[in-house]
Amino acid sequence: MSYALTTIAAIKSSGQQELARHWDRLAAGRRFPDSRGFTLPPELSDPTRLNVWNVEGEGRLQKFRAAYQGEAIGQVFATPWAGKTMEDVVPMSLRSLAIEAARECVQTGCVIYTIISTLDTQGQRVDCERLLLPFGSGSKVTQMLASLQLTQVPGGIRRKKILSSFEIEAKLVFAGRIASGFTDEAAASSVGGGEHRRAQRRNVRRAGRIRFGRTDRTCTVRNISSTGALIEGANIVDLPDRFALTLDMETAARRCTVVWRKKVQLGVRFVDA
C-alpha cells in the first residue's frame, strides 16, 4: 500500500481535523509528541470513538497491543480489546489494512489517515475514516492514538450490524500520511513566523549542507538571521530535530534545532544563538 504525503485538508471529519491539530501543537516542532503526560481536551473528540495501541518489539516481531478501547468501538466489534493485539481483534478482511497503516505510522512518525468503504444491508455506502496519531520518546514511536469515524447515512448506522458489511467487503479508497508542522504553516511562512523570531531575517538563496551522524544532505537556505533560518529541500521531511548546517562558502557549521516543519521546508533555530 502506498501512503501519499498529503495535508490536513484531506481529513473529512472536522472532529478528526481538530484532533490532528491538537496532536501537532503538542509536537511543537518535533516529529511527534511525547506520550508522557498526554491529555485530550474533552471538547476535541468523542473518547468513545478512540482507542490506544502500545507498540511492542520491532521488525517482523512488532506487535500493536490495545491499551484502551472506546465504548463506540466496543459496540461495533462486540469484544473487549484491552490487552489483546491487533492481530487478535481486527477481522481478517480489515487486518492487513489496519496493521500496514500502524506500521507506516510507526516507521514514518506521521499522522496516517485512511478511508475504508463498504455497502450496508440497504446498499448504501458507508465509509470508515481511521486516523492514527503517533506518540513516543526521542525518535521512537511507542504508542498510537486511533480515531474511528463512520459516515452517517439516511436512517443512521447500526453499529452492531455494520461490521458484518466490512467483513464481506472492505475497499480502501484513500491512504495518506501527514507530517507534523502543519498547524502553524501559514504563520511560520510569514515575516513574523511561527517561531516568534527575535531577529529580523533577510531573504537569501544559498546552498547549504546538513549533517547528522554519518548522513550528509544538501539544501537551500531561503532566509536567515542571527538566530535561525528557513531551509528548503526535497529530502528534508525525515530530518532529525537537531543537526548541523553549513552554508556554501563558509566553513563553520551552525548547530540547529527544528521549530516547525512543512513538506519541503524547515524552520530552525540556531542553538548557539
- Give me the DSSP letters along 247-263: ETT--PPEEEEEEEE-S
Domain C-terminal end among 152, 178, 204: 178
Q: Are 70 and 51 in contact (CB under 8 A)?
A: yes
User: Of the ranges 40-44, 69-73, 179-183, 224-228, which is most confident?
Assistant: 69-73
207-229 burial string, b = 16+ CB within 10 Å, else e?
Answer: ebebeeeeeeeebbbbbbbebbb
Domain C-terminal end among 120, 152, 178: 178
Same domain, 190 and 121: no
Same domain, 132 and 190: no
- What pLDDT, in 10s, does the model give residues 175-192? 999 988 777 443 344 333
Helix (H, G, I), strand (E, B) or coil at 116: strand
Same domain, 18 and 134: yes
Q: Identity (one letter) of the amino acid at 48? A: T
CATH number of the domain bearing residue 263: 2.40.10.220
Say which residues have a Cβ less than 8 Å from residue 61's Cβ, sequence separation at least 6: none
**pLDDT band, residue 258 (cuts 50/70/90):** confident
Same domain, 234 and 106: no
Same domain, 168 and 259: no
Domain range enclosing 200: 185-270
How many structural domains are present in the chain? 2
Q: Which of 33, 267, 236 is nearest to 256 (CA)?
A: 267
CATH number of the domain bearing residue 135: 3.30.450.20
This model's pTM is above 0.75: no
Same domain, 55 and 130: yes
- What pLDDT, in 10s, does the model give residues 2-56? 899 898 999 999 889 999 988 988 887 778 988 876 777 766 667 888 999 999 9
Domain C-terminal end among 160, 178, 196: 178
Same domain, 17 and 131: yes
Burial label, 148 (beta-carbon count in 10 A; 0-12, 13-18, 19+): buried
178: its cell numbers? 501527514
